[in-house]
Amino acid sequence: MNNQSVQDTNAKNLWKKVLGELQVEVSPLIFKTILSRASARDLTENSIEIICPDTHTKQMMSGKYLTLIQDSINKIGRGVFDIKFSVTEEKKAVKDPGPLFANDVVTGDEKSTASGHSYEDEARRSGLLTKFTFENYLMGANNQVAFAIANAVAEKPGTVYNPYFIYSGVGLGKTHLMQAIGNKILKVKPGMKVIYCTGESFTNELIENLQKGKRNNKYTSNEFRDKYRKADVLLIDDIQFIAGKEATQVEFFHTFDDLLRAQKQIVITSDRPPKDFTNIEDRIRSRFGSGIIADIQPPDLEMRIAILRKRRDENQDEIPNEIINFIAEKVSTNVRELEGAYLQVYAKLKAQGLEPTVSNAASILGETVRDDYQKPVNINQVIKAVCSYYSVKASDLKSNRRTKDLVIPRQIAMYLMKEITGTPLVTIGEFLGGRDHTTVMHGVRKVEAEMAELPKTRQDVSNVKQMISSM
């Protein structure tokens, strides 16, 4: 056995043990749809390569779950390892590679489908908007489960999580997620017939065909049934619209059953869970619950800030973080209203030539600015609040001691210094006893990961922020 084979074998053995530990740290769904799908190779004394099946899994493992993975590998491997994440290097060289997709990259062969049309043409014919992708969907604690299931559905349509039912209030991203499924399938599996429609358009099309059918002495045209029942992937948005419409429910039920028996993928969205439906047949409601159901909650403050910063950076708008933070705190209902408030502030600031301050933003939104928005926050205030909240001394936080009662507040201090004050990592490290910037980065990421998973951490961070505001 050559040296490379030994490295790969050792990597597989280590990764197997790491997965065993990670399995008890995350939810079964996250473990199954994200962590367990990766493998490892090329283990050396201080490095290891983690192989991900697609870019989405790589993004999540190297971002949200990096701290968990890093800690487990270091602990089990008894060292400090540099982790390299990569995506399976599989090319779409054959005509039918099967339902498991290697990655999201569209090669030259994938730019046209089996019908000869481009991906953009197929998306348009399917009713999809190409702007809705997994890559530009912001994942947070409020939608991570729905995102993970959607990604798994897009990779293996019809074989896992079928049917998939997503529900949420308006403006929280369920349509984006549903269309991302369809777009990914069209990119990596040319030839599959994907159909996107709303509950309203399904009903209207059925009514038109019923009227057409009556003129031909038929009740329903075969054209309508062929369109939906021969789909490989059926995406129906806002299914609640069919409530109370008997003929639509009958046709939908038989379409649903035909596709499910043929192992075709069905994805449905609604503004409520199946159990809350009224005026929908019990047999349909039970079908909805036969697969997997996921909800999308309103985004928390950190997620709302991330959404607005992404919007600002993409458009290259000259809006400071203070205004973004202010808008994110004021608008907590849904993403549409959040982005609407941002556009309202930005447009009026620009049109009226106003200085981009929180006071002016508040005036535009009709809000009264509290004093804490007007006062700049520095790292000394952050350290003071953290020490007060956790009953520790600043000198201890800056020391080399690594006891649990100091590590947690120290990492939260790192996170808040970066988040609230925007202080560079190097400066934060120097302030906290001359620590390296990579140590600060590790601390920040660990707090971010715990905030997504642990309600207590989120509450602690929120409490310290309130203490800072009251100073």
What DSSP string describes 206-269? HHHHHHHHHHTT-SS-HHHHHHHHT-SEEEEE-GGGGTT-HHHHHHHHHHHHHHHHTT-EEEEE
pLDDT of residue 223: 77
* Domains with residue ranges and CATH for the chain: 3-87 (3.30.300.180), 108-296 (3.40.50.300), 313-370 (no CATH), 379-469 (1.10.1750.10)
pLDDT of residue 129: 92
CA distances in angstroms from 177 to 101, 173, 231, 251, 469, listed in the order given: 18, 6, 19, 26, 36
Q: What is the per-residue pLDDT across 27-51, written as a single tens digit (0 to 9) for each?
A: 776 787 788 889 999 899 889 999 9
Q: What is the per-residue pLDDT across 392-403, written as a single tens digit (0 to 9) for each?
A: 899 999 998 888
pLDDT of residue 471: 65
pLDDT of residue 368: 53
In this prediction, residues 349-358 reach a mean pLDDT of 90
pTM: 0.56
Which DSSP symbol is given to 112? B
pLDDT of residue 389: 84
pLDDT of residue 184: 94
Q: What is the per-residue pLDDT across 276-310, written as a single tens digit (0 to 9) for each?
A: 887 888 899 888 888 899 999 888 888 888 889 98
Whether pLDDT at 236 is above 90: yes
Both tokens of 326, joined, read 């202010």
Whether pLDDT at 269 is above 90: yes
Helix axes 301-315, 335-352, angle to 10 degrees: 50
Rounded to the nearest 5 degrees, what angle is found at the Cα of 46, between the Cα atoms of 42 and 51?
Answer: 35
In the block, residue with structure tokens 């609604």: 270
| Count of other CB atoms within 10 angstroms of residue 12 | 13
Strand pairing of 233-237 and 194-198? parallel
Whether pLDDT at 109 is above 90: no
Name the average pLDDT for the chain.
83
Whether pLDDT at 329 is above 80: yes
Q: What is the per-residue pLDDT across 148-189, written as a single tens digit (0 to 9) for each?
A: 999 999 999 998 899 999 998 888 889 999 999 999 999 988
- Distance from C-alpha of 300 to C-alpha of 141, rounded to nearest angstrom: 8
**Residue closest to 387 by CA, chosen among 373, 376, 398, 402:** 398
